[in-house]
Amino acid sequence: MPDAGAGLLAALCARIARAGPLTVAAYMQACLADADGGYWQKRASIGATGDFITAPEISQIFGELIGLWCAVVWRDLGRPACVRLVELGPGRATLMRDALRAARAAPNFLAAASVHLIEASRPLRALQRRTLAAAAPPAAAAVPRAAGARTGAFPAIAWHATIAGVPPGPAIIIANEFLDALPIRQLVFADGEWRERVVVADAAGGLRFALGARADAGPRAMQPPGPGTICELRPGEEVLLAALARRRAPLVALFLDYGPAADAFGDTLQGVLAHAYVDPFAAPGAADLTAHVQFAPLCRKVRAAGLATDGPIPQAEFLGRLGIAERAARLMAANPRRAAEIEAGAVRLMSPTGMGGLVKALAVRSPHLPQPPAFG
């Protein structure tokens, strides 16, 4: 790939020469979030013509089932007159569009909801705006929010940099493939102790890993690791959970992401460019960088923040319990010409060796609330 990431690479080398090695988290943050060369400012990253594909882009059923899940959660919250429907990292807004369409079956939920999108990418924000404006029923688009209630209600939509910007009130939060984009730290077990894994410049003007200062791996250091073992830490989760814990009103959150349910060691940092895995140093800022979510430590952090967890369960179990087979059958009967495509999409979401098994669903909620649908 000609020159991919060359500008950001030069800036990173200069920064390392000036200020010393970068932690993996600082490297990931720069590659993703840099105001000039960061990946999030790249256009059209998600979808068939982009770098990677996600569940809502594979099948409309994904977002529809989550929209109905949200409507049931709203009922279980006691049908509050005002509820924040929050999505973290909404991508192309396909999930939210499909969720809102399915939720028309629950018009009182739609009338109570305001949508809050947490998005770091300028181009994706613009795309989300266009997608959701096109999805609003014409009457709702023209009529002020309060007057839209009951018939053809379409929620007001606001964008925020972080969840801390979402106004108070009961909240339903959804996040598909968001946590895997949060920068991770990596520690390496070497000579009987954990050391920070850092990024340094190599002699050829590229980047390579090196060992940094001694570091604390927390509770996971209890397990005896072999030399070279890598332990990944996700400081961004603490920040997110602290923001959730600060909300006083009841909340239910749904996280869907790649990663093991049990504690695991290992290097999961991966670059993805044009639907292929690439070395994390191959194209800084041009390739997406993600790492698997570690659900066991995440659940411990959620409980330490005073919230309850349900799951994680494999995506296939989650979607199966929400009725993906029945929904696919109905959709195929109504659209016989698209039947093969609809079936292929559902099969892909459910594949035990693919998304169905590797992606897990985790619910996080205020402890007094009932278990959300599919987790009971």
Q: Which is nearer to ligand SAH, 89 or 297 (by Cβ)?
A: 89
Left, alpha or beta for 145 (phi > 0: left; psi -120 to 50: alpha)?
A: alpha
Query: Using omega within 30 degrees of 0 as the cis cutoff, is the peptide bond preceding 312 cis?
Result: yes
Is 362 among the residues that bind ligand SAH (CB under 6 A)?
A: no
Closest distance of CB 354 from ligand SAH, Å = 15
Within 8 A by CB and 6+ apart from 51, the residues are: 45, 272, 273, 274, 275, 287, 288
Closest distance of CB 143 from ligand SAH, Å = 29
**Three-state secondary structure call for residue 225:** coil
Is 40 among the residues that bind ligand SAH (CB under 6 A)?
A: yes
Is 91 among the residues that bind ligand SAH (CB under 6 A)?
A: yes
Q: Which two tokens stand for residue 373?
A: 């649908």
Q: Which is nearer to ligand SAH, 34 or 189 (by Cβ)?
A: 34
Q: Of 1-20, which residues contact ligand SAH (CB under 6 A)?
A: none
Contacting residue, 51, 64, 177, 317, with ligand SAH by CB under 6 A: 177
E strands in the chain: 22-23, 83-88, 113-118, 157-160, 171-176, 185-190, 193-201, 207-214, 230-233, 251-258, 270-273, 276-278, 288-290, 308-314, 359-365
Amino acid (1-letter code) at residue 192: G
Q: Stretches 74-82, 176-184, 199-207, 308-316: which one binds ligand SAH (CB under 6 A)?
A: 176-184
Q: Which is nearer to ligand SAH, 39 or 189 (by Cβ)?
A: 39
Quick one: CA torsion of 363, 365, 367, 372, rounded to 10 degrees? -60
Q: Stretches 85-93, 206-214, 315-323, 329-337: which one binds ligand SAH (CB under 6 A)?
A: 85-93
Q: Stretches 114-122, 140-148, 323-331, 345-353: which one binds ligand SAH (CB under 6 A)?
A: 114-122
Is 178 among the residues that bind ligand SAH (CB under 6 A)?
A: yes
Number of residues counted as binding ligand SAH (CB under 6 A):
18
Is 121 among the residues that bind ligand SAH (CB under 6 A)?
A: yes
Q: Which is nearer to ligand SAH, 98 or 267 (by Cβ)?
A: 98
Contacting residue, 9, 31, 46, 363, with ligand SAH by CB under 6 A: 46
**How many angstroms separate the CA atoms of 30 and 7, rounded?**
12
Is 124 among the residues that bind ligand SAH (CB under 6 A)?
A: yes
Within 8 A by CB and 6+ apart from 330, the residues are: none
Q: Which is nearer to ligand SAH, 26 or 124 (by Cβ)?
A: 124
Residues that bind ligand SAH (CB under 6 A): 40, 46, 54, 56-57, 89-91, 95, 118-121, 124, 176-178, 181
